[in-house]
Each structure stands twice: as structure tokens, then as C-alpha cells.
Amino acid sequence: MSCPSCGAKLEVSNQHFCHECGGRLPDFSKSSELAQGSSTSSDDRILAI
């Protein structure tokens, strides 16, 4: 995995900030959990304005 800001190689996957540039890193563990979570069917959605 590498930093999206500077491209530095990241040693630990649970880092929140890059050790080279200090840029904030995306939370890959949450995004993978969301991708694997249950999807909402169109019947379960409600339009709120």
C-alpha cells in the first residue's frame, strides 16, 4: 500500500497518517467492511428531501 499524496510505501496498514508527508490516509479497513456489507435493495430505500 502507498500514500495517495506522496506515493511513499506504507509499512503498516492501520496507519492514519503518512510517515513521509503527514497526509491523511483513507481508512481501508472500513471501506472493505462496507464493500462486503449487505446491500440495500431499491424497495428498502426512502427518498427524503
Residue 44 resides in a domain:
no
Query: What total number of domains does the chain contain?
Result: 1
Alpha-carbon Rg for the chain, nearest whole angstrom, is 16
Asked if the structure places residue 2 within a domain, the reply is yes
Q: pLDDT above 70 covers what percent of the chain?
A: 67
Residue 15, in any domain of the structure: yes
Report d(CA 25, CA 4) in Å as an integer: 7
Let me know if residue 11 belongs to a domain: yes
The total of other beta-carbon atoms located within 10 Å of residue 19's CB is 12
Residue 19 belongs to domain spanning: 1-30
Q: Is residue 48 part of a domain?
A: no
Tell me which of 8 and 29 has the higher pLDDT: 8
pLDDT at site 45: 83
More confident residue, 1 or 5: 5
Residue 22 has pLDDT above 60, yes or no: yes
